[in-house]
């Protein structure tokens, strides 16, 4: 198996936090094998924009409208190159978003869990499972910079990289 590259986004909040996706994303994600979006798109048109780059798998988040929720699942498992990746927004009570996202897939064997909600980039291994939050490319909240993620999948597993840009 050759190296598989996966673009990862969450919390794009289009058009409330930005009118459109940052142009940098289109060049940064060029050539990825697929894209994962962990919710809070706000506008379903974001998926069409991303699909121009690569196939997209997404879930809805807590701020997504009813039309978005009708078209996307709350959580899902995406199999890519033999690796199972859990995808969920991660909203809920409390401030431990990574733990909440991890628990959502406790009964499923997954190699990674991709989540969002907190807008805080996160890339940590827990019991052999990669927990990965790409942050947000449009709403930094309390972060110093905007961010998106890349996963690389090879024979050794799923590996994550957070990429920062902007002010």
What lies within 8 Å, CB to CB, of 71 at 6+ separation is 44
Cis geometry, peptide bond prior to residue 28 (ω within 30 degrees of 0)? no
The pLDDT score that the predictor gives to residue 92 is: 87
The CATH class of 4-162 is alpha beta
> Distance between CA atoms of 34 and 153, rounded to whole angstroms?
12
The pLDDT score that the predictor gives to residue 1 is: 65
Mean pLDDT by 10 residues, the chain (167 residues): 92 94 96 98 94 98 94 97 97 89 95 96 96 96 94 96 93
Please tell me the pTM assigned to this model: 0.96
Phi-psi group of 120: left, alpha or beta (phi > 0 → left; psi -120 to 50 → alpha; rest → beta): beta
Question: Where do the domains of the chain lie?
Answer: 4-162
Candidates 5, 148, 149, 163; CA nearest to 83 is 5
């Amino acid at each position: 198996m050759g190296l598989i590259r996966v673009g990862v986004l969450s919390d794009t909040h289009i058009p409330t936090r930005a009118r459109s996706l940052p142009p940098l994303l289109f060049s940064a994600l060029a050539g990825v094998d697929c894209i994962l979006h962990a919710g809070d798109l706000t506008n379903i048109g974001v998926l069409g924009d991303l699909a121009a780059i690569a196939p997209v798998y997404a879930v809805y988040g807590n701020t997504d409208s009813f039309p978005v929720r009708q078209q996307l699942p709350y959580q899902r498992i995406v199999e890519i190159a033999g690796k199972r990746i859990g995808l969920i927004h991660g909203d809920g009570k409390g401030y431990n978003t990574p733990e909440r996202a991890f628990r959502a897939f406790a009964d499923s064997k997954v190699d990674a869990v991709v989540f969002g909600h907190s807008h805080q980039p996160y890339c940590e291994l827990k019991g052999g499972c990669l927990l990965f939050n790409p942050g947000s490319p449009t709403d930094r909240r309390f972060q110093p910079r905007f961010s998106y993620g890349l996963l690389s999948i090879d024979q050794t597993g799923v590996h994550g990289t957070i990429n920062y840009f902007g002010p």
